Amino acid sequence: MRTRFGPDGIHLFDRTTGLNVLADEVQVPPETWSRAPRQVSVAVANTCDLSCAYCYAPKQRAQLSPQQLCDWMDELDEAGCLGVGFGGGEPTLYRHLDDVCAYAATHTRLAVTITTHGHRWNTDLVKRLRGTVNFVRISVDGVEATYERLRRRSFATLCQRIELISGAFPIGVNCVVNADTVGDLGALAELAANYGALELLLLPERATAGTIGVASVVLAEMEEWALAYPGPVRLAISEGSAGGLPAATPLPRETGLRSYAHIDAAGIARPTSYSSAGEPVDERGVLAALDRLTRREPA
């Protein structure tokens, strides 16, 4: 198991099973705390073959080189990071995805997660990524007609892809919550359970250049649904969006950039994927960029 040291104690993690063990009775001296964030998400490229109106990912063309990604994973692994999450854009459009996932599996101790819309997956891609990817998150915004109106793709085809992916990888389901999708949460939770998903991640819609974000009445409806949810799939919500929901916080003192960071497809390190604050990851590396970001005033 991988060992990470932090303000909450000694954290043990097994990337194969997903098992986490926290020895919180141990007082770890600050000078020995792991320097890297616990989890880093990386947008490998901005390219996507969907055009969802509420997507907040940058639209300018950019992608990271496989050498950059491998160098950064080496640095993060050495500094105590537990996992990297590859997204975009749509990461399956990135032609080096197989290579960087294989590198993580064979040269680092990092767990690899992929966030995908799911439509490009086939038996060949499953075969190439099996054994190197530890978890797949599938974005499913609503069901049936709602999904097809928002994503402009066949829901039946998506379900076939989910069945294929879930047969080879542990999966989670992500849902952008807005006025269109909040009424589908019950059906979406049922879908997640039917395919053996380990988690349903709720992502209240963020404001973009063309949208104002989720309305307070929709958030209230989401909270009411979540509080009454009786199903077997674990619910999760994006950080800072819990509102009045009771949320478990197993590592309450490991917050901010000690917990999570994002690197976009232009190589800019940010506190989150939707933050305007950022520092370029240059030849000094990821940790140096995060140190500079920590010293900056919030933007």
Average pLDDT, the chain: 94
173-199: pLDDT as tens digits: 999 999 999 999 999 999 999 999 999
Helix, strand or coil, per DSSP, at residue 30: helix
Residue 72 to residue 230: CA distance in whole angstroms: 41
pLDDT band at 28 (very low <50, low <70, confident <90, very high): very high
C-alpha distance across the termini of the chain, in Å: 37
Annotated domain spans of the chain: 2-295
CB atoms within 10 A of CB 256: 12
Collapse the DSSP code of 165 into the 3-class scheme (helix H, G, I; strand E, B; otherwise coil) and give the result.
helix
Q: Sign (positive/negative) of CA torsion 47, 38, 68, 170?
A: negative
Cα separation of 246 and 102, whole Å? 38
Can you tell me the distance from the alpha carbon of 268 to that of 56, in angstroms, rounded to the nearest whole number? 16
Other beta carbons within 10 angstroms of residue 218's beta carbon come to 19
Q: Which residue has the tokens 């973009």?
A: 208
Tell me which architecture the domain covering 2-295 has in CATH: Alpha-Beta Barrel (3.20)
Nearest Cα neighbor of 40 from 288, 257, 249 is 257
Percent of the chain surpassing pLDDT 90: 86
Q: What angle is formed at CA 113 by the lines to CA 112 and CA 114, rounded to 5 degrees? A: 125
pLDDT tens, 2-24?
999 999 999 999 999 999 999 99
Nearest alpha carbon to residue 196 among 229, 170, 175: 170
Is residue 53 very low, low, confident or very high in pLDDT (cuts 50, 70, 90)? confident
DSSP 250: S
Instruction: Measure the CA angle with vertex 242, ends 237 and 244; round to 5°.
Output: 145
